[in-house]
Amino acid sequence: MIRLTASLSALLLLTSLSVAGPAQDYADNCQDCHGAGRLGGVGPALIPETLGRMRGPDLDTVIRDGRKATQMPAFADILNDEQIEALAAFLKEPLGEVPDRTETEIAASLVINEDYQPVETPVWQSDPMNITLVVETGDHHVSVLDGDTFETLDRFATPFAVHGGPKFSPDGRYVFIMSRDGWVQKYDLYALQEVGRVRAGLNSRNIAMSHDGKWLAVANYLPMTLTILSTEDLSVATVMDVTAKDGTASRVSAVYQAPNRKSFILALKDAPEIWEVATDPDADPVYEGFVHSREKGMVEALPSSEGLFARRRILTAEPLDDFFFDDDYRHLVGASRDGARGVVVNLNVGREIAELPLEGMPHLGSGISWERDGHRVMATPHLKEGKLSVIDTETWKQIATIKTDGPGFFLRSHENTPYFWADVFFGPNKDEIHVIDKESLEIVKTLKPVEGATVAHVEFTKDGRYALVSVWEDDGAVIVYDATTLEEVRRLPMRKPSGKYNVWNKITFSEGTSH
Ligand code: DHE
For every residue of 115-165, DSSP letters joined together read T----SS-SS-S-GGGEEEEEETTTTEEEEEETTT--EEEEEE-SSSB-S-
Query: Of the candidates 57, 53, 59, 58, which has an alpha carbon nearest to the alpha carbon of residue 30?
Result: 59
Q: By alpha-carbon position, which residue is closest to atom 47 of ligand 1?
A: 165
Measured CA distances, 178 to 182, 418, 427 (Å): 6, 33, 28
From the CA of 137, how far away is ligand 1's center (Å)? 12
pLDDT bracket for residue 431 (50, 70, 90):
very high
Residue pLDDT, tens place only, 55-97:
667 899 999 999 876 678 899 999 999 999 999 999 999 887 7
Residue type, 230: S
- Ligand 1 centre distance from Cα of residue 155 (Å): 22
Give nearest CA residue, ligand 1 atom 13.
164
Q: Which residues line ligand 1 (CB under 6 A)?
A: 53, 137, 163-165, 206, 254, 322, 365, 409, 457, 498-499, 514
Please tell me the residue having the least CA distance from ligand 1 atom 26: 205
Residues 211 and 259: beta-carbon distance below 8 Å: yes
Q: How far apart are CA 224 and CA 101, in angstroms?
A: 10
Position in ligand 1 atom list of the atom nearest CA 383: 22
Residue range 429-450: mean pLDDT, rounded:
98
The CA 218 to ligand 1 mean position distance, Å, reads 14
Please give the pLDDT value at position 1. 36
Q: Nearest C-alpha to atom 35 of ligand 1 is from which residue? A: 163
Sheet holding 497-502, edge to edge: 152-157, 141-146, 131-136, 497-502
pLDDT band for position 11 (50/70/90)?
very low
Q: Determine the atom of ligand 1 nearest the C-alpha atom of 255.
A: 16
Q: Where are the domains of the chain?
A: 22-92, 362-514
Give every CB contact of residue 413 below 8 A, 6+ residues apart in sequence: 368, 370, 419, 420, 421, 438, 460, 511, 512, 513
Query: What's the pLDDT score for residue 53?
Result: 59
Which pLDDT tens digit goes with each residue over 230-266?
999 999 999 999 999 999 989 999 999 999 999 999 9
Q: Which CATH class is domain 362-514?
A: mainly beta
What pLDDT is recorded for position 295?
Answer: 58
Strands (E), 367-418: 368-372, 375-381, 387-392, 397-403, 411-412
Cα(450) to ligand 1 centroid in Å equals 23
Q: Give distance in angstroms: CA of 163 to centre of ligand 1.
A: 6
Is domain 22-92 in CATH 1.10.760.10, yes or no? Answer: yes
Digit-coded pLDDT (tens) for 14-30: 444 445 799 999 999 99
Q: What pairs with residue 474 in β-bridges?
A: none
Type of residue found at 336: S
Residue 44 pLDDT: 77
Nearest residue CA, atom 2 of ligand 1? 164
pLDDT band, very low/low/confident/very high, at 338 (cuts 50, 70, 90): confident
Q: How far is the CA of 366 from the centre of ligand 1 (A)?
A: 9
Least confident of 172-181, 335-344, 463-472: 335-344
Ligand 1 mean position, distance from CA 49 (Å):
14
Contact 390, 371 (CB under 8 A): no
Distance CA 331, CA 324 (A): 8
- Is the model's pLDDT at 45 over the cut of 70? yes
On the question of pLDDT at 7 being above 50, the answer is: no
- Strands of 236-241's sheet, edge to edge? 203-209, 215-222, 225-230, 236-241
Nearest CA to ligand 1 atom 32: 163
Determine the residue of 49, 162, 163 to mutate for testing ligand 1's pocket, defined as the one with the most ligand atoms within 8 A of the Cβ atom. 163
Q: What is the pLDDT of residue 510?
A: 92
H or E stretch covering 311? strand 311-315
442-464 confidence digits (pLDDT tens): 999 999 999 999 999 999 999 99
- Residue 379: pLDDT over 60: yes
Grade residue 152 by pLDDT with cuts at 50, 70 and 90.
very high
Cα(265) to centroid of ligand 1, in Å?
Answer: 17
The predicted structure's pLDDT at residue 164: 92
Nearest atom (ligand 1) to Cα of 256: 16
- Number of helices (H) and strands (E), helices first, in the chain? 8, 35
**Separation between Cα atoms, residue 333 and residue 365, nearest integer Å:** 9
Mean pLDDT of 301-327: 88
CA distance 49 to 109: 20
Give the full edge-to-edge strand order of the sheet including 341-346: 320-325, 331-336, 341-346, 351-357
| Cβ pair 177, 164 in contact under 8 A | no
Residue 184 burial class via C-beta count within 10 angstroms: exposed 0-12, middle 13-18, buried 19 and up: buried
Of the candidates 443, 469, 436, the residue with the CA atom closest to the CA atom of residue 370: 436
Can you tell me the distance from the alpha carbon of 237 to that of 239, in angstroms, rounded to the nearest whole number?
7
Instruction: From 475, 480, 503, 493, select the one nearest 138 (Cα to Cα).
Output: 475
Ligand 1 atom closest to Cα of residue 513: 48
Q: 303 C-alpha to center of ligand 1: Å?
A: 36
